[in-house]
Structure 1
Amino acid sequence: MNKTFPLLQGYRIMQIPFQSSEQKRKNSLYPYQENDIEVLFEKLSNGGNNHRVLYQLATGGGKTVIFSEIANRYTQKYKKRVIVLTHRHELCKQTSNALKVTGVNNKMINSAVKRIAKKELYECYVAMVETLKNRINDGLIGTENVGLVIIDEAHHNSFHKLLGKFPNASVIGVTATPFSADVNLPMKQFYHELVIGEPIGALIEQGFLAKPHTYGYDVELNTLTRGINGDFTVRSSDELYASEVMLELLLHAYKEHSLGKKTLIFNNGIFTSRKVFELFSAAGLPIRHLDNKTDAASRVEILKWFKKSKGAILTSVSILTTGFDEPSVQSVILNRATTSLTLYHQMIGRGARKLPGKKKFNIIDLGNNTERFGEWDEPIDWKHVFENPEIYHHTLNKSVEDIHQMPAEMRTRFSNSKEISFDVLSAHQAAIENGKKAKTVLRDSIHQHALMCANNADSVCTAMELFEVLDKEINWRIKQYGKCIGTVSKNYIKWLGEDYRVRVKVLIEKIMSRRALMRTAV
């Protein structure tokens, strides 16, 4: 009987058949994997020389298994070399091991490899982008005899610089999310067509992935700022998620939905992750911290501890989103917000592996990510995203710009106010529909802010201190109002902000004076 067992190679789960013949390898593949391999080979055959195909398959669907088998069959059928490109050293090792298991004689091109002789017997080479680019530019590696280039995690833009270096090669890019974070480098610019694999929902229904249960918390995010890469900055994330209120919320959410479960906590900053480690340790919970600065020996020890320890918690930053597959993970906590669809899928995918007795896993979202991207297992029209990336970029950017929530630690300063939110866009639309002037929106917003300060203070001085807390909130409302009334100058926006603040202060003093008179009269 043909059997398949998991093998941990650097913590990535591989399907490994006992038999080595081509037919028995075929039998070890799942039906959808075999079907996708046949489709990809058909695309390569019909596309001619230099045809580029992008292949999408969900995290946990077995992309490494599939492209390893493709490399094996390609070298046997066409007698040409294959190069597999990755973007991280750890992935190079894991990919090389996976190829060997499939029967592909391969070699890693690392800093120690300076030249590839034409008479070398290796059928396949595995390399990081920068290393291979340097060897090619130095004239130490020839690329004419390479027939196929396979790109793992193809959504990374770093690969594009090498595609033109292989004049006789077809290309298969592999990714869970065929969407570039850079609007100026859409994936359709580098690939001729997209092949879509089995969707997440179908993989869950067929028993290949665990079913997610999502628990979302409404977190105020308007203090987050975006960096040049489009995602929220580490600094602004640390300021929010390392705050006492957010740390308390994290611990509460963990105890509510993850207590006793093997848990991964994803953070945006090292400072936050260390704060999480300190908090959970003080609470007597089994937790370790891991980031990209952790030395190799410590990392190995921590991952072994996490694998063997029941109910272990691992808080991390920028290191476990790719190349790490531990099927025993029962809960994933997104202790961060992100604008990256790819990162969203990668983080959640760490908990999706199936094991005997594990049919579901929990997702705790503390960054409103589900609201931004939709449920992880919801169907996505990847063909439309691939062909129209600018539309998706616009939609995503709009959802990020429309974030209008007060940080939890600020919200506590206004505990006496039942309503602290204000939808400027909706208020403007309602005003226009009712025949009112646009400036009534600012009037209502000013009145609300003044009441928030007055209702949570016992003196004018205290109310004015609360007013200072609202500075970023006021900037956001003025910016939204500017969008509503059309194209306006920066000077006009600046004047609106100054006038708004003066009017709020005046109204606060009136409200507080009126209340003081009423108390005196009583």
Structure 2
Amino acid sequence: MFELRPYQRASLDALYSYWDCGGGNPLVVLPTGAGKSLVIAKLVEEVMEQFDIRVAIVTHSKELIEQNFQELLRLWPSAPAGIYSASVGRRDSHAKILFCGIQSVWRKVDLIAPRQLVIVDEAHLIPRNSATMYGKFFERMRDITPDMRVCGLTATPYRLDSGRLDSGADAMFDKIVYEASVIDLIEGGYLSPLISKASAAQVDLSKVSVRGGEFLPASLEAASMAGDLVDRAVSELVAYGQGRKAWLAFCSGIGHANAVRDAIRARGVTAETVDGTMDKGQRESVIRRFRNGEIRCLTSVNVLSIGFNVPHVDLIALMRGTQSTGLYVQQVGRGFRRAHGKKNALILDFANVIRMHGPIDAVSVLPTGSSSGEEKATVSDVRAKECPECESLVALNASRCPHCDHEWPREEKPKHEAEADGTAGILTTERVPPQMIPVVDWELKRWTKAGAPDSIRVDYLAGLQRYPEWVCPEHGGYAGHKASEWWAAHGGAAPFPKTADEALERAGELTAPATISVRPDGKFFRIVGRTFDQRRAA
């Protein structure tokens, strides 16, 4: 019996609500390790139970095709499912549920169509260019089934070349209908905590050439191997890696990856290199040995950042600079999965990647206009700050939160700016541990702001101190989903209230927490956890 986690259930409910209201092509954002394969499987099962339709699940790699297919069979052993992928060696074109490799089906649409629903895993890999494999695939599929729906799942809802996946006239997706919070999933025990350490050995990116918004590979590799940088970086890596089981090092080129591998071996640690030019069988053999613990470190070039599932990875070395926030998030995400005996994953940043993009739980792409009317992303666009009162992500330069009206003092710097020592944490919560405080009482009242939907201010009373929190059921999007999760966490029944009036009228359903965990955030405190006493179960 498979039981969805609360956020997984909430993501599917958000999808169905969007479609019930006439929505077309939604996007669901779940961090790496949050269980996208199970969400896809449950979505397919529930949709097929209600409707007589044909479904395709499309992605780019053999590993993801097989992983998603096997997840569906574990959930639904008798599912009418097949695979169409040359790399897997199967072409089950007539299966009602078809797991596809885009490379195999983009020219074979007539064999697999019609499909009323197409689900795309790793949806950030879809380019805006209609002349690509994905572009031609969807154009032909819509010719056959004009009312076809497309649902995307990804951990990174943006691309360096074209910004947010749900923005712009030619966007594939209409709206992000659900986005799970990294911090919520870590504090809920679903993802492994991350910690980071400052590295003395740093790649100098100041003279690295840039083209198309990303560092040129040859120039970046030269900078990564300048002088004795590899030797110094590996010395730090090996020192920090003592007591850690499985290391990944993301490198800037094959020469760099080999040099890092050799330097690690010279220090008595087993290491191998994997890159995109290797024979698939050879690469799979190396990865299998790494998964089995025969190899302690893998150095990687342009592989392992997507679809790589080894839960016990507990050290990640960022040894290549990148201006792509998506690549940064995907690489760091290899450490999110939980494993027996794993307390956290250590992120070592040798290329100023964390400092460039900000903490992993506060990255965002904020579109900017251009003369062509298209919305593009730049490095300065992909950083965000979190409101300390209502936890919404807002623009770095915002002086006022659009959700709860919190104002940042003029002199206050965004919390993920570099500290005086030049370091930046991998999580916004990394440095200061939370403080658990007993709750004496609480108060719920309407919060009104001109030009915005009403919300609810919740004050938790602890002695003479009040700790406020905003719940925003009318705001929709991220804030609306947070409100539903808050309601359920405090014992409220489904369906969740859609308005502040309804929530206040039903406040009797709720149970006040026995304690809250708070963390200092500038002049304020942020509530990051809560516990309930045994009276809640009575």
1:54-105 Cα shifts (integer Å, max 9, x gaps): 1111111111211111011111111201101102233222222222222133
Of 274-283 and 253-262, the range deviating more from structure 2: 253-262
Task: Work out the percentage of aligned pairs sharing the same amino acid.
Answer: 25
Displacement of 1:380 in angstroms is: 4.2
Aligned to 1:44: 19
- Which of 243, 257, 266 is equivalent to 2:250? 266
In 1, the alpha carbon distance for the partners of 2:305 and 2:334 equals 7
Displacement of 1:34 in angstroms is: 0.9
Aligned to 1:155: 124
Structure 2 regions of 5+ residues with no counterpart?
385-538
Flag the 1:224–1:71 CA change in 2: closer, same or farther, 3 A. same
In 2, the alpha carbon distance for the partners of 1:338 and 1:362 equals 19
Residue aligned with 2:67, SS: helix
Aligned to 2:273: 289
Flag the 1:245–1:223 CA change in 2: closer, same or farther, 3 A. farther
1:455-474 Cα shifts (integer Å, max 9, x gaps): xxxxxxxxxxxxxxxxxxxx
State how 1:441-460 maps to structure 2 within 5 Å. none
Aligned to 2:177: 195
TM, length-normalised to structure 2: 0.62
CA contact (8 A) 2:163 2:367 kept: no
Aligned to 2:7: 32
- Aligned-residue CA RMSD (Å): 2.7
Is 1:237 aligned to 2:237, yes or no? no
Larger C-alpha radius of gyration, 1 or 2?
1
In 2, the alpha carbon distance for the partners of 1:140 and 1:310 equals 43
- Which of 364, 380, 384 is equivalent to 1:395? 380
Bigger RCO of structures 1 and 2 (CA < 8 A, at least 6 apart): 1
Structure 1 regions of 5+ residues with no counterpart?
1-18, 20-24, 400-522
Residue aligned with 2:123, SS: coil
Report the residue type matching 2:226 in the other structure: S
Displacement of 1:396 in angstroms is: 4.5
CA contact (8 A) 1:114 1:140 kept: no
In 1, the alpha carbon distance for the partners of 2:297 and 2:321 equals 20
Flag the 1:264–1:294 CA change in 2: closer, same or farther, 3 A. same
CA contact (8 A) 1:179 1:385 kept: no
Aligned to 1:142: 113
- Which of 155, 171, 179 is equivalent to 2:150? 171
Of 164-173 and 262-271, the range deviating more from structure 2: 164-173
In 2, the alpha carbon distance for the partners of 1:206 and 1:185 equals 28
Aligned to 1:69: 42
Flag the 1:212–1:127 CA change in 2: closer, same or farther, 3 A. same
State how 1:367-378 maps to structure 2 within 5 Å. 367-376=351-360, 378=361
Is 1:57 aligned to 2:40, yes or no? no
CA contact (8 A) 1:334 1:363 kept: yes
Residue aligned with 2:328, SS: helix
CA contact (8 A) 1:183 1:393 kept: no
State how 1:398-477 maps to structure 2 within 5 Å. none
In 1, the alpha carbon distance for the partners of 2:352 and 2:185 equals 25
Aligned residues: 361
Displacement of 1:322 in angstroms is: 1.0
Is 1:333 aligned to 2:331, yes or no? no
Is 1:181 aligned to 2:160, yes or no? yes
Displacement of 1:31 in angstroms is: 1.1
Flag the 1:184–1:398 CA change in 2: closer, same or farther, 3 A. closer
1:413-453 Cα shifts (integer Å, max 9, x gaps): xxxxxxxxxxxxxxxxxxxxxxxxxxxxxxxxxxxxxxxxx
1:192-245 Cα shifts (integer Å, max 9, x gaps): 1112322101111111111111123354212311234x3212211221222342
State how 1:236-385 maps to structure 2 within 5 Å. 236-261=219-244, 262-309=246-293, 312-376=296-360, 378-380=361-363
Report the residue type matching 2:218 in the other structure: R
Report the residue type matching 2:378 in the other structure: H
Is 1:211 aligned to 2:186, yes or no? no
CA contact (8 A) 2:26 2:176 kept: yes
